[in-house]
Amino acid sequence: MIRLSEVQKSFGSNAVLRGVNLEVAKGTSTVVIGGSGTGKSVLLKCILGLVTPDSGRIEVAGKDITTQPRDEFLARFGMLFQGGALFDSLPVWQNVAFRLLRGELKRPKAEARDIAIEKLRRVGLTPDVADRLPAELSGGMQKRVSLARAIAANPEIIFFDEPTTGLDPIMSGVINDLIREIVSEMGATAITITHDMSSVRAIADRVAMLHKGKIRWEGPISEMDASNDPYVDQFIHGRAHGPIETVR
């Protein structure tokens, strides 16, 4: 369980999070939606301890994150970064096994390679991809490699930041399905940030909408369309007009 209570964070005069309350139950998948710049990434960074909130409390599995030893704590997370963030100079398998080759999760090299190949297979890539460089792969394949890296250490919690950005609709669908399958299969707790409504529908058990620094609406995906919240409606239908101010 991840629990945020009254989390606030400002950067100078920019009050980004203004009292966020959110609970994500163990083994469930929550998608956070909201306009650009509403603080979705800042929210994930607060949970990871990369950004320190000004006030409020964040607990993971019942423990205040500020009391946890850093490396051990981070070892429990997997992360699919926006844009993939693969290391260009490392072959695919070393990208996938990155965290298994150093630090808290270090394994012998041959074992790390075997795990990388198994995870590549899990995301639909054949072992011959392992020794290629990321630049030799298509965008969709690179995204799969990033996904394999996110799950390489069997994390309890996985964050997906814009997992389908830059992919065509068919490849987006494939990645969404893979994320859903992997999260269910691993029993992982997942939080995803996306603007892609087809991703929201494919990945989410629950949806939370961040607006003006607070969770405006939160509920099961099955109730999103009938939320009767004008902000949610405007967002999910991509309407230019409504209560959410748009900058032109």
Ligand X SMILES: Nc1ncnc2c1ncn2[C@@H]1O[C@H](COP(=O)(O)OP(=O)(O)OP(=O)(O)O)[C@@H](O)[C@H]1O
38 binds ligand X (CB under 6 A): yes
Mark the segment that binds ligand X (CB under 6 A) among 35-43, 109-117, 198-206, 239-247: 35-43
11 binds ligand X (CB under 6 A): yes
Alpha helices by DSSP H, listed for 49-154, are 70-74, 92-96, 109-122, 139-151
Nearer to ligand X, 107 or 234 (CB): 234
Residue 241's CB: how many other CB atoms inside 10 A? 7
194 binds ligand X (CB under 6 A): no
Nearer to ligand X, 40 or 113 (CB): 40
* Alpha-carbon Rg for the chain in angstroms: 18
CB 178 within 8 A of CB 147: yes
What's the CA gap between 4 and 194, in Å, rounded? 20
* Residue 111 C-beta: closest distance to ligand X, Å: 36
Residue 27 token pair: 């083994």
54 binds ligand X (CB under 6 A): no
Mark the segment that binds ligand X (CB under 6 A) among 30-38, 107-115, 140-148, 198-206: 30-38
Residue 18 token pair: 């203004």
113 binds ligand X (CB under 6 A): no
* Residue 34 C-beta: closest distance to ligand X, Å: 6
Q: Is 79 left (phi over 0), alpha (psi -120 to 50) or beta?
A: beta
211 binds ligand X (CB under 6 A): no
37 binds ligand X (CB under 6 A): yes
Whole-angstrom distance between the N-terminal and C-terminal Cα of the chain? 39
What's the CA gap between 39 and 44, in Å, rounded? 9
What's the CA gap between 131 and 102, in Å, rounded? 19
Nearer to ligand X, 17 or 141 (CB): 17
CB 207 within 8 A of CB 221: yes
40 binds ligand X (CB under 6 A): yes
Which member of 7, 33, 42, 123 binds ligand X (CB under 6 A)? 42
Mark the segment that binds ligand X (CB under 6 A) among 40-48, 56-64, 95-103, 225-233: 40-48
39 binds ligand X (CB under 6 A): yes
* Residue 189 C-beta: closest distance to ligand X, Å: 20
138 binds ligand X (CB under 6 A): no
Q: DSSP secondary structure string, 167-186?
A: --HHHHHHHHHHHHHHHHHH
Binding residues (CB under 6 A) for ligand X: these are: 11, 14, 16, 34, 36-42
